[in-house]
Every structure is written in C-alpha cells, then in structure tokens.
Structure 1
Amino acid sequence: MTLDTDLARASQDASALAERLLDLSKAVPVIPPPPAPIWQILADEPGPFEVTGTQTVRYGKGDRWVKKLVSGKGAASNGFFGSDPVPGVTKQAQVLIVPGTILPKAKGTAAVPAPAVPAAEKPVINIGPMWKPPKVITSGGVYEGMWKSDDPAVAAVTIRTSELVELRGEADSKGHVVSAPWAWVNLVIRQMQARGVNPNVLRRVGGRFLAAEGVESLLIEDSDITGSSGVYVNTWRPSKVRPYSIIMQRLRGKNMEGRLSDGRGGYLQEFYRGQYVQLNNLANIPGVLLDLLRLDNTARESFIEDAVNFHNCTGTLESFMRITRSLINGAFGSPVDGDYTGGGIMLGDGEGGKQEALKNTVIETSNYGLAVSNGNHIRVVENIALGLGKLPDGTILDSTPDCGFYARDYDQTVGKPDTYRDPSTVLFQDNLAGWMRPTANNPTRRNDYGVAPDQARSVNNRSVIGDVTPAMLTSAIADWEAMASRAGMKHAGRI
C-alpha cells in the first residue's frame, strides 16, 4: 500500500473514530473534516506538464509510485523522475491537491481555484498517528507508510520478492522492523524512522531493524534506528537489476538492544548477540561500503556485542569491504562492570579478509576499540579510539578489558594454511589511541595497542599524550559531527 492510499484511508478512519469517541463521552459532535487530499492527473507517459509554484507530483501506476517536488515544467517520464516504478506499463504523472488551494495546471490550461471547504465550526479530536498493520510485500515498487507490529513473531514489513523494493516512512515493532527471509532481495531503505520495542515476553529478544537472509543488493541511507538489535545481512549473490552490492550511508542509531525481555517492561542481564551492523557469510563480494554511520549507546540502556562486525566475509583484492568515516560512541555490557567481550569495530572475524576500516572514530566501547581477530589482507588506517574506561559515576567498565587496537588470529585452523595469519598482509597505520583501562589499584592504567609483529605491520601509530579526559571525548565527537556535516550528512547529531 502506498502513502497516498494510506493518507486517504487514514483521513476516513480518523473521522469515524473521532465521532465514536465523542458519542461515548457525550461531547459536542465533530464536524466532518475537509475532504481528503486527492491526486489529479497531469499527463500520461511521456507527456509534458506544468505546475504553479512548487507541488508534490507522483509518477507511476496502481500502488507503485515515485514522488518529487516539482516547480514549473516537467514530464511524465522515467528520465524526469529518475526511475521506472512500473516497468512495461504506461504510467501517469499526478499532482497532490489539497482543497482550498490553487490547482496546478497541465500544459496549456489555466490554473483554477480548488473547491472551497467551509471552516470547521466545532472542535475535532486529534487522535494521533494512524499506524497500519504489518505489511507483506510481494512485488517491486516504492512503498511509503507507517507500519506497526505488536507481535514479536511478526515483522512490521516482510519482503517476499526479488524485484526492486524501496521503503520509506516509519515503523515500530516488537519483532523485526523489516524481514527479508531468503527472497534474494534488491532493497532500498531510505528516510526511515524505525523503533524496536521491548517484546514484553519473558526471555524474548527484540527484533532487528533489518533481518535479511539472501541479498542481491542493499542500500540503506538517511535513516534513524532506535532500540532494535541492528542490521543483519546473511549471504549474498550478484544482482541482475542493481550495479552495487551493499551500501549503508548516513545512518544514525541509538541504544541498540540485545537483552532478553523480563516480560514486565524491563530486561534480564542475558543477551542475544545483536550488533548495529552484522555482515555474515558474504563471499568474494565487491563494493561493500559502510560510510558515515553514527551509533550512540547509553550505559545500562543498551547491550550489544560488537557495534560493527564483518563475520566470515571476504571482499576482493580490487575492492575491499570498507567501513569509513563512522562514529561508534559507546558499547556496554550488562552489568557494565561485568565480563564483556564486545566493542567497536571487528574485522576478519571467522575466516574473513580483504576488509578495511578507514578514518573512523570509536569512543568508550568498553572492551576494545578496533580489532582484527582473524584473516589476511586487512587494513586499519587513520582511525581514532578513545576511552576513559569508566562512567561519570566512577563505575569501572568491563572486568576483562582489552586494547584500543589489536590484531590476533583466533580462528586459525590446523591443516588449513589459508587460515593462517600472514602478518605482511595486515596493516595498522596512522591510528591514534588513548585507551584507559583503570583498576582500583591503578587508576591511570592504559592499553592502547596490541599489535605484535607476528600478527600485523604497525606503521606510525600514535598514542594520546597524557591521560585521556572527558573533554577529549567531547572534542572528538564534535570533530566527527563537523566532518560528517561537511560530507553531506544532513543530520549528524545524536537522535
């Protein structure tokens, strides 16, 4: 269902519900609201049209449309709107008309006033957003709406097609926000506001923002994610309809949550291994890019494993998998002073390789900042890892802390030489660390680097001079926000 259909039905639903509420309370009856906005035909494909001022114009057919703001002249064509929402079908351009405004004109016609609507004389109840029930998508197109799932076993949106699908809008879910179970999706998620909700079922974990098993192409951009257990992508094959593989850019996340529900609105100490982004079992995949991601986790209000993890994934020698220019601000266990193995950015996990972390900033992620746990052909270059190792209330983080940067070879398999570490192919260069790991007996203890010569090459890596201070962390975040804004991220601050 598209946004225009949702809007019309939402207006009818709102009027009916408002009248019922007033009947029950014996309040003054509600004057019916003005007629819902309508879509007026401007032109059939590929005809020209012209609108007065700046108007919302859509292009497509049935329930599959693309929209743009148009000023002056345009054309009902794929070229003008930038895509073909319904291939092989003659489409239309239509303009959104709100009663009481001036109708935009088609080419050769004069603008005329829309029918006047009398002003309401009595109060109308504001009943809030009109959420729609969970949606299952079985054909390609652009889908806009507000979807909600109160069932932890049902996603707000489920995709069961490999045709190109674009999602926009809002979603709340006690389960997954978006689920794509082995559909080999070609998916775009753009300008989405998504919230994961406590499932309130004992020992049940909340859902992912995206749980995708079997992907051909994925683009997620300009979206906000709160309270879910992040993005999970498992298994890839080349797309026949899109030129890229996996791109995530200009995303913000807040309080990723992997703890199990206590069934009473809170959480247990136990958790499921959630992440902000988990890429899994992607073999020889070119063009993977995670750029300008922001994550802010608050201690005692979130619990994930690694913020970003590339597990059992390999890029190509010509095209490394990359995470660049991203900010990871906070990763904490539960309890925060317990044994915690999670952290910031983990590369090479499993039997991975051909990966790169470039120009990222990692702040206070408890155990480690940026790490290479296995694999070859991996680069960690020009990143920053800073941490005080304790909370403002003095609580020391993580009873078994690690390093700001480390290189290890945890997954070496005896008899499989291709899993052995070749330190000449793993590079840590031009990084900056200030990773304080205080203890009760040693409040200034530091552990900036764990990069031994038999694990990786270390070139021009530096440490913060003197103790790390809260002001340094604040400054690093501000520097990242300024950089992200310059790079075109419209909303670089916290959610």
Structure 2
Amino acid sequence: MTATTRITGWLWLAWASAAHGLAACTHHHLGGEAALVITHGGTYSGTYRSAFSGVACVRVATTEPVVLEGCTLTGPGNLIEAGEGADLTVRNCRGQGLPPTADQLAPGRFLDVYRPSRLVVEHNALTQTSGIVVNRWSGSSPTGPTLVVRYNRVRNIDGRWRDGKGSTRSSFLILNTVQHLPRVDIAFNEVINAPDQSLVEDNINLYNSSGTAQSPLHVHNNFVQGAYPFPATADKFTGTGLTSDGDAKTAEEAAAFIEADHNQFVATGNAAMNLAAGHDIYYHHNRAVTSGTLPGGQRFRAGHAALGVFNYYHQPPSVFFNHRVEQNTVGYVSWGGHAPGPDRQDLSDGACAPCTCTVHLPGPITPGTEAREWQSWQQKLRQKDVVVGPLPLKKTARP
C-alpha cells in the first residue's frame, strides 16, 4: 500500500562544519514528500520506493506506537522520517540508498527522526545511505528501552554529492542534543565502509548528548571498519570511529555520562576514538587497529592518531572534566609518527593525558592484522549467539 501526501512540517537537518570533522545542527528546513505517510499506530510491512531525493519512502506522522517490520526501502532521499513524539520501532528492514537526483545532495538517511519519545532500531541492513540521525528528544517512559540501536548491518555510509563538488557530513549514527536520557544502548552494530565507495565523517557522533550518572549512554561491542577521505589516497581527513562532541557552554548541556567499551575500530583515518567535548566520559577495553595500507597496496596517508582527548571547544573546567581512557588495545600506523615506535601514533601527542594502561600491539601492523580483527569479531558473535542484520520474520505484519 502506498500513498503520496504533502508533508507540512517535516524538519530537515542542516549541519555547519568545523575543523577536525566536528559538526553542529544549526537550523531546519520545511517541506518534502513521502511515498507512505503513517497516521495511525500499528505494525507495517511492505516494499516502499521513492524516485526523487526530496521524497521519503516512509514518514511516521503519529505519536501512537508504530513498528516497521520486514520492510524493503529504496530511494535517493530519506528512507524513513519521523516527527515529534514518535514511538517507533524499525526492525528487520532492508534499506538501499540510491544516487541523489539533484546536485549538492548526498544519498538520504536510513532514518531521520526529530524529537522522538521512544526509538528502537534493530536487525536492519542499510546500504549506501547517509546513516541515522536522532535530533533531540521528547520525554521518555520511566521504564523500558528509550533509545536502542543494535544488531544492524551497515555498508558504505556515503555523504558524497551527486555533482562531486562537495559532501554532507554523514555518520552511521548521530545523536544531536539527546540529553539526560537513561537506557540508551548502541550495541553489536557492524559497520563497514569501503574506500572510494563511501564517505563517512564520525561513524558515531555524540553531539551535546548524554546519559545519566546512574545510566550512562552506552556504546559497546560494535565493529566499525573504514573511515576514509575521498579519494581514499588523499592525505587529509577529519572523521573518526567515534567522537564525543558538542559546543555546550554548561555541564548541564554538554556531552556527558558516556561509556564506550569493547568496540573494535579498524582502518579509521584521522582517529579511532576522539574525546573532544563534555564531562564524565569513559572509554575502555576498546580495540583500534589501522595498518596504514589501502586494499590496493597504497599508503593510507590520512591517519593521525588512534586515541585523542582534547578540549576542542575550549570549554571551561566546569564543563570539560572527569574523563577516563584506559585499558584500550591499539596498533595504529600513522606514517611519520613516533609513538610507541616509527610510523605509529597510538596516542595523540600531547592530547591524551587521561589515557592510561594502553596495550600497544607489537608491530608490524599490517592488513593481516586488520583481517584478524574481523575474525575476532565473527568469533565474538558466535560466542554471544548474536546475529547482525535482518532475521527471518516469524509472522506476517499487516501492510
């Protein structure tokens, strides 16, 4: 079942870029269309296509609980959009981005949602989209999941414009000003970006977003491979595997109460994990491996350092404080680097004071070392009996 309905209040994100790949949401645009507009709660399944960048596949325009189950979504624009107060579950769906149909546009988001009240995104497959954006939050229930992104299989986050004259800063997941939210779980996502087939900025960006002291925003057991410039042989890049970010002026508004652990970051230009803003952030027991070599044998020249802790926004000590970065395992080739040896930069020079108990992998770090990270990821999935990507549907949802 499809329908075409004018959207009279959809909020589009525009991002103002900053150095080092840090970005902020600055304003919104109105307008746009959708192939299917959902105005009543329920479970929906089907195949939904869009032919134009300005037309979404599905728009959720109700605060009643909606489940998108087993959908196939294809288009050059946003595949799913949801507005204020949405209570949305996206499960077992397949999303395929298409090339933009206008210049100065990137492929659309798999999911673009503004001020939801509950969001679960799990067991999906998304290919050649510009990722997931959660822009602010609207209340939450006192119990149960609030924001869950897990078990998704992701290929080639792509922010490149059609005309080749620029790009949109895109991430697998951006949380923009999602503040003081308990029970946030970002886990067991498998993200692979291929060189010259993708253009991602921070694979995971936590911008002015926070959990609580009792329930930190938790990013764990994800596998992220690939953060490349375009072309991949370029020597400048500002992306990462994960970044805590944000220009907040007060501790109340800053990125905070974030825990990131047991993630694997492989072949990430610029950095694997940056801590650039906020307070009470804890990175531990992660793995960061970059060989400095592209699949064709060329040098990957866009590497800087695996781990960095730097007060990018010059926040005062009342806002930027109480960070821990410990017991991470690192082998990061950065040509011309020197720590812990030639052509290595496991820790950012002068910008990793809280980094302790780092395990430096013995050299040489090669493409074979990266391949073993993939093997260990597969082993972890088997041991924990976890499947990423869509599962077979157990029952038929109504269209």
TM-score (ref. length: structure 2): 0.83
2:351 is the counterpart of 1:448: no
Q: What is the CA–CA distance in structure 1 between the aligned matches of 2:119 and 2:97, rounded to whole Å?
A: 21
Q: Where does 1:30-429 land on structure 2 (aligned, <5 Å)? A: 134-168=35-69, 169-180=71-82, 182-240=83-141, 243-262=144-163, 268=164, 270-336=166-232, 337-350=234-247, 351-399=254-302, 401-413=303-315, 417-419=317-319, 421-422=320-321, 425-429=322-326
Q: What is the CA–CA distance in structure 2 between the aligned matches of 1:463 and 1:451, rounded to whole Å?
A: 15
Q: Which secondary structure state, in structure 2, belongs to the residue aligned with residue 208 of structure 1?
A: coil
TM-superposed deviation, 1:238: 2.2
Checking the alignment, whether the CA contact within 8 Å between 1:352 and 1:374 is kept in structure 2 is yes
TM-superposed deviation, 1:239: 2.9
Which AA in structure 2 matches 1:473? E
Q: What is the CA–CA distance in structure 1 between the aligned matches of 2:190 and 2:342, rounded to whole Å?
A: 29
CA pair 388-430 structure 1, distance change in 2 beyond 3 A: same
- Structure of higher CA gyration radius: 1
Q: CA RMSD in A?
A: 2.4
2:372 is the counterpart of 1:475: yes
Structure 1 residues 8-30: Cα deviation after superposition (integer angstroms, max 9, x where no partner): xxxxxxxxxxxxxxxxxxxxxxx
TM-superposed deviation, 1:490: 2.2
Q: What is the CA–CA distance in structure 1 between the aligned matches of 2:72 and 2:384, rounded to whole Å?
A: 25
Q: What is the CA–CA distance in structure 2 between the aligned matches of 1:272 and 1:208, rounded to whole Å?
A: 11
Structure 1: where are the runs of 5+ without partners? Answer: 3-132, 263-267
Query: Displaced runs of 4+ in structure 1, greater than 6 A?
Result: none
Structure 1 residues 220-255: Cα deviation after superposition (integer angstroms, max 9, x where no partner): 111100000000001112235973210011011001
Q: What is the CA–CA distance in structure 2 between the aligned matches of 1:386 and 1:252, rounded to whole Å?
A: 20
Q: Which secondary structure state, in structure 2, belongs to the residue aligned with residue 483 of structure 1?
A: helix
Structure 1 residues 472-495: Cα deviation after superposition (integer angstroms, max 9, x where no partner): 1111111111112332322479xx
Between the aligned residues of both structures, percent identity stands at 24
Checking the alignment, whether the CA contact within 8 Å between 1:269 and 1:334 is kept in structure 2 is no
Query: Which structure ranks higher in relative contact order (CA pairs < 8 Å, sequence separation ≥ 6)?
Result: 2
Which of 358, 374, 378 is the aligned partner of 1:461? Answer: 358
Q: Which secondary structure state, in structure 2, belongs to the residue aligned with residue 206 of structure 1?
A: coil
Normalized per residue, the structure richer in helix is 1
TM-superposed deviation, 1:202: 2.0
Q: Which secondary structure state, in structure 1, belongs to the residue aligned with residue 81 of structure 2?
A: strand
Q: What is the CA–CA distance in structure 1 between the aligned matches of 2:364 and 2:352, rounded to whole Å?
A: 28
Q: What is the CA–CA distance in structure 2 between the aligned matches of 1:214 and 1:491, rounded to whole Å?
A: 27
Q: Which secondary structure state, in structure 1, belongs to the residue aligned with residue 373 of structure 2?
A: helix
Q: What is the CA–CA distance in structure 2 between the aligned matches of 1:146 and 1:235, rounded to whole Å?
A: 29
Q: What is the CA–CA distance in structure 2 between the aligned matches of 1:271 and 1:134, rounded to whole Å?
A: 26
TM-score (ref. length: structure 1): 0.67
Q: What is the CA–CA distance in structure 2 between the aligned matches of 1:137 and 1:177, rounded to whole Å?
A: 14
Structure 1 residues 330-355: Cα deviation after superposition (integer angstroms, max 9, x where no partner): 11111221421002111244431110
Q: What is the CA–CA distance in structure 1 between the aligned matches of 2:167 and 2:145, rounded to whole Å?
A: 34
TM-superposed deviation, 1:170: 0.7
